[in-house]
Amino acid sequence: MDLFNYIVILGKSFLWTCRCRKILPSLNHFIRKLVIKYETEKLVYFKLNKTNLFKEKWKIFEEKFLSNI
C-alpha cells in the first residue's frame, strides 16, 4: 500500500475516533499517532528482516517529519 494512502486512511480513522469520543482533533495528536504507527511497523519489519522494504515505504515520512522531531 502506498504511504500516502495509508496516512489518509489513518487520518480518517483518527477523525472518526475523535468524533465518536467527542473531542477536538489536533494535528499534533495525529502526528504522534503516526509516529507510533511508524515505530510499530519498524519493529515488525526489522523482526522479519525486511529493513529495505521498511526504509523504502517510510522514506518520505522520515525526511519530512522525523527530521523535525
pLDDT at residue number 56: 87
pLDDT at residue number 1: 57
Which cell is 27 given?
A: 494535528
pLDDT at residue number 36: 94
pLDDT at residue number 69: 56
What is the C-alpha separation between 37 and 43, in angstroms, rounded? Answer: 10
**For the segment 6-60, what is each residue's pLDDT rounded down to a tens digit?**
999 999 999 999 999 999 999 999 999 999 999 999 999 999 999 998 988 888 8
